Amino acid sequence: MQKPTYGRFGGQFVPEVLMPALNELEEEYERYKEAPEFLRELNYYLTEFAGRSTPLYHARNLSKKYGTKIYLKREDLVHGGAHKLNNTIGQALLAKYMGKKRLIAETGAGQHGTATAMAGANMGFETVVYMGAKDVERQRMNVYRMELMGTKVHPVRSGSMTLKDAINEALRDWVTNVENTHYLIGSVVGPHPYPMIVRDFQSVIGTEVKQQIMEKEGRLPDSIVACAGGGSNAMGIFHPFVEDTDVKLLPVEAGGCGMQVQGKTAMHSASLGAGEEGILQGARTLILQDKYGQILESTSVSAGLDYSGVGPELAHLAETGRIQPGSVNDQEALDAFHELCRLEGIIPALESSHALAYIKKMADTGELGDLVVVSLSGRGDKDLETVLKVKATAGDEKL
């Protein structure tokens, strides 16, 4: 029995054969994470390849509408259009220092796969991405993007042919090829040390926010709002503020569609708010499961929030009361999506639109305070087809 890492959450619930690989990863990460040469190279890639730092943008029109000063942390401007590259650059560089030649990853909607393909191509890795055959079918453009960058996309035809089956295949590959292969996990999930490593690489978001808000406002914000799927953009922006207890940290989950869906499916993706303790992807955390402990598939209009669990550190911070989870439904997120387009000339990702919708929802309560930072985790160009489809089925003039 392994020791959990974050209160009763976290740990390493994996087959014995994987333990040497996890131990190696932890040791090597501890060795390099503060090494000047590693940090210099990491900073080079983040600046020159990813385009950091990203602006902390005062959204004047949005602020006016909701009567509180709102800043957007523009991760949508990172190369690739989302925060995901911060982590894939970090882990790819770590893999290079570890002497690995090959990167593997699993991807659901294809966004993490694409960010892995970018880092892999740039740093000269052989890159393989496992993806459920159903997802390969649904996400043809992302598959093509990955292939353009030299990544081999491996369709997984076992089980439900979706993300969880792709995870199993990636683990199987890792066990077999651990000598020369790094398994690049895409959010603050999985067995220790992954939640810590991904959080650290994403903390560049919060570190920049802290410096930028001090320069612009001379004080820390009253609250920080971020959407949470696995939780990497949320942990990344929250982490440097966890000790600053006057700053409210508000993760927002996908409340889904509220429609009846058949089979083993939850009606939402709100594992922080409505999940129960269980084991998912090698860690003890809060997950959506039925009374027999079977994982429920989540549902959300936004592919990036469609995950049945949440990172163990977020589960712990929620349990101890340091963060207060909220949720918004698909319609509220879609409304916020359109509102930001019109008011600020910025098309947000549907994931990020959940964070924006929470501002709208909470503005009247006064709980957000006078100075709010929102993590704009990604741009929405990838979501236009989804938005059009919803619009067509809803026949909703308002959209």
Could you say which of 75, 106, 313, 351 is catalytic?
A: 106
Query: For residue 389, with 0-12 CB atoms within 10 Å meaning exposed, 13-18 middle and 19 or more buried, which class applies?
Result: exposed
Give Cα 118 to chain centroid, integer Å: 17
| Closer by beta carbon to ligand PLP, 84 or else 96 | 84
DSSP 160: T
Decide if residue 111 touches ligand PLP (CB under 6 A). Answer: yes
Closest by Cα among 277, 274, 240, 270 to 255: 270
Give Cα 285 to chain centroid, integer Å: 16
CA–CA dist 386, 141 (Å, integer): 13
Decide if residue 233 touches ligand PLP (CB under 6 A). Answer: yes
By CB under 6 A, the residues from 335 to 364 that bind ligand PLP are 349, 351-352
Q: What are phi and psi of 394, to 5 degrees?
A: -80, -30
Residue nearest to ligand PLP (CB): 378
Structure tokens at 34: 């503060």
Candidates 22, 163, 227, 287; binder of ligand PLP (CB under 6 A) is: 227
CB of 84 to ligand PLP, least distance (A): 5
Query: From the CB of residue 33, how many other CB atoms can be counted at a distance below 10 Å?
Result: 16
Structure tokens at 16: 């014995």
Q: Which residues of 48-58 are buried (b: 16+ CB within 10 A; e: fewer)?
A: ebbebbbebbe
| Closer by beta carbon to ligand PLP, 100 or else 199 | 199
Cis peptide before 155 (omega within 30 of 0): no
- Beta-carbon contacts of residue 221 (< 8 Å; ≥ 6 apart): 71, 209, 213, 247, 369, 371, 372, 373
Decide if residue 142 touches ligand PLP (CB under 6 A). Answer: no
CB of 247 to ligand PLP, least distance (A): 19
DSSP 289: B
Decide if residue 378 touches ligand PLP (CB under 6 A). Answer: yes
**Strand, coil or helix: 262:** coil
Candidates 229, 255, 273, 312; binder of ligand PLP (CB under 6 A) is: 229
Catalytic-residue membership of 160 = no
Q: Using CB under 6 A, which of the segments 3-11, 40-48, 141-149, 230-238 binds ligand PLP?
A: 230-238
DSSP letters for 32-58: HTT-HHHHHHHHHIIIIIS-PSPPEEE
Decide if residue 327 touches ligand PLP (CB under 6 A). Answer: no
162 and 137 in contact (C-beta within 8 Å)? no
CA–CA dist 84, 380 (Å, integer): 14
Candidates 63, 181, 187, 285; binder of ligand PLP (CB under 6 A) is: 187
CB of 315 to ligand PLP, least distance (A): 13
**Strand, coil or helix: 375:** strand
Decide if residue 82 touches ligand PLP (CB under 6 A). Answer: yes
Decide if residue 271 touches ligand PLP (CB under 6 A). Answer: no
Give Cα 341 to chain centroid, integer Å: 22
Decide if residue 285 touches ligand PLP (CB under 6 A). Answer: no
CB of 240 to ligand PLP, least distance (A): 16
Catalytic-residue membership of 158 = no
Catalytic-residue membership of 30 = no
Decide if residue 298 touches ligand PLP (CB under 6 A). Answer: no
Candidates 113, 132, 221, 230; binder of ligand PLP (CB under 6 A) is: 230
Could you say which of 84, 164, 210, 248 is catalytic?
A: 84
Q: Using CB under 6 A, which of the segments 27-35, 43-51, 155-163, 232-240 binds ligand PLP?
A: 232-240
| Closer by beta carbon to ligand PLP, 326 or else 378 | 378
Candidates 21, 170, 197, 228; binder of ligand PLP (CB under 6 A) is: 228
DSSP 378: B
CB of 31 to ligand PLP, least distance (A): 26
Enumerate binding residues for ligand PLP (CB under 6 A): 82, 84, 111, 187, 227-234, 304-305, 349, 351-352, 377-378
Active site residues: 84, 106, 377
